Structure 1
């Protein structure tokens, strides 16, 4: 594979930004801000970029970036519920909620031309290693169950179930027809 994983920080920001820019701002300009704040009308890609960079500068965002040599191929974003308060399927998520996790794994992205090479799996492993360095705890993810059905990549931004299960997560409860809350303690 030849991948290395690095934290998203001021040293890796340029490589992260290059990948995002090469992929239309990710999902049309999200810049991986969709779990930090509610995205909607009036927010621009430039605003998302500036806010993401500001969070990197202050250490208020976390991601495991996957590199091949010096090229960033993709990432897995993680953080505390305070850092990443937005979740998909909120009503069903909150209905089954008993306690908040210590950490959330909210989204994945792999750049065009790099998909199907294990980038998401490497990113998830890197995120778990970084979480362990921060002291660990209960980690929650929200992957999509593909059930051997063909699923558009846009539905897999929270990760495929198989990647989470390969890293020791267990299904806790469904929050949509094909999305689950999965947990693991690190």
Structure 2
């Protein structure tokens, strides 16, 4: 029997976040900065600078995401926070179909998952998503939004599933509100 625990991504847990990023797709290179930078800024920022940018974000708080531990080992990560703090979402054509204005601070987004390869298949994404909904609710969010991939429509490599899969969002009570591409859904869960 394995035990999953979820903790906020605080500065005291920065090394744990980095451990969760290792061998989990593009997490270590990306440092979950993709949704915060423009394309030009992303391309012009080397990995070591992204690490420092991410460290500064975590240190400044509030926590920009959650860490999942499997039997005490940092195993996975999810970014969750106000959509307004993830500006690339508003500039991404696939997400323009969101029914809420992008400047609405009460809409939060779960935009990224990283699960270390050796821990996949243990329910970490599901646990992180459930915890992300509670974190958003406790932080005053009205709605939580996600951008999952529908793997029943198109076979997708694991590295490209950083948005999460539609099935885990549906299990967590999210409802599809738009389908910008056959394999990309926009889902929401209203919290109040």
TM-score w.r.t. the length of structure 2 is 0.87
Shift in Å, 1:99? 2.5
Q: For 1:95 and 1:131, how far apart are their aligned partners in 2?
A: 22
Are 2:142 and 1:141 equivalent residues in the alignment? Answer: no
Equivalents in 1 of 2:118, 2:90: separation in Å? 27
CA contact 2:18–2:28 (8 Å) conserved in 1 = no
What is the number of residues matched between the two proteins?
185
2:173 aligned residue (164, 168, 171): 168
Listed one character per residue, the Cα deviations across residues 94-120 of structure 1 (whole Å, up to 9, x for unaligned) are 255442361011010101201111111
Q: Is the 8 A contact 2:24 2:117 kept in 1?
A: no
Aligned pair partner of 1:75 in 47, 61, 77: 77
1:15 matched residue in structure 2: 16
Cα distance in 1, alignment partners of residues 186 and 178 from structure 2: 5
Can you give the 5+ residue segments of structure 1 that lack an aligned partner in the other structure? none
| TM-score under structure 1 length normalisation | 0.89
- Per-residue CA shift, 1:58-99, capped at 9, x if unaligned? 015511210123311101111112211112982242255442
Q: What SS does the corresponding residue of 2:30 show, helix, strand or coil?
A: coil
Secondary structure at the aligned position of 1:113 is classed as helix
Give the RMSD, CA atoms, in angstroms.
2.2
User: What corresponds to 2:26 in structure 1?
Assistant: 26
- The structural deviation recorded for 1:23 is 2.6
Structure 2 portions without partners, runs of 5+ = none
Task: Encode CA deviations 1:30-60: one digit per residue, 9 max, x unaligned.
Answer: 0111111135322111111000000000015
Distance in 1, matches of 2:52 and 2:72, equals 23
Post-superposition offset of 1:152: 0.5
Matched, 1:153 2:158: yes
Structure number with the higher helix fraction is 2
d(CA) in 2 for partners of 1:160 and 1:121? 10
1:105 paired to 2:110: yes
